[in-house]
Amino acid sequence: MRRKSFNTMQCPIARSLERVGEWWSILILRDAFHGLTRFDQFQKSLDIAPNMLTRRLNALVDSGLLERHRYSERPPRDEYLLTERGRDFRPVLWAMLAWGNKHFAPEGASVMVVDSATGQPAEPILVDRNTGRPLAEPAFRSAPGPAADERTLRKLGGARAARAAGLARSSGVEADQAR
């Protein structure tokens, strides 16, 4: 049975899941951040079937999260290195780690994010790069972006945002300025 593709959905979360939504992919990326690069290292760490690992590594390469580099010609062997896109996934992993420790580790944290200089535990949060303020409700919310289609406008912005975007599109002004 073939799964549904999220690639054509406008939602950035759905499009991200298209690349990393399969649990093996996230665990492979986790291990890549821990320095693993070779097929046998990933297989040993994850205890994953070779055919599944091959499919997941190929998908991560195709999605631009890993790059394949040949390190041996005889026999042919490749290593898998994080790309810039792949390295940008680290904060997502750290957020998942903190969330998992908070909600699913009754025995306590087995892995933590720590300050490299002091060794003190860190508590990952998302902040706005422009203001440094934590991204939390009610100060922040999801809103339709400039490329939002009508469905996204209805889902996130309600009638007011849909009207504003319609006005903005017809006058060539950004939706934010139309409000």
Q: What is the pLDDT of residues 62-121, one digit of tens each?
A: 999 999 999 999 999 999 999 999 999 999 999 999 989 998 988 988 899 999 999 999
What percent of the chain lies above the pLDDT cut of 90?
60
Is residue 52 one of the residues assigned to a domain?
A: yes
Its domain, for residue 119, covers 89-106+115-128
What percent of the chain lies above the pLDDT cut of 70?
81
CATH number of the domain bearing residue 57? 1.10.10.10
Are residues 99 and 163 located together in one domain of the fold? Answer: no
Are residues 154 and 171 located together in one domain of the fold? Answer: yes
The string of DSSP letters for 41-81 reads: HHHHHHT--HHHHHHHHHHHHHTTSEEEEEEETTTTEEEEE
Q: How confident is the model at residue 9 (pLDDT cuts 50, 70, 90)?
A: low
Are residues 20 and 77 located together in one domain of the fold? Answer: yes
pLDDT(163) > 60: no
pLDDT at 23: 86
Q: 103: how many CB neighbours lie within 10 A of its CB?
A: 8
Are residues 18 and 77 located together in one domain of the fold? Answer: yes
Are residues 122 and 57 located together in one domain of the fold? Answer: no
Are residues 96 and 81 located together in one domain of the fold? Answer: no
pLDDT(45) > 80: yes
Residue type, 179: R
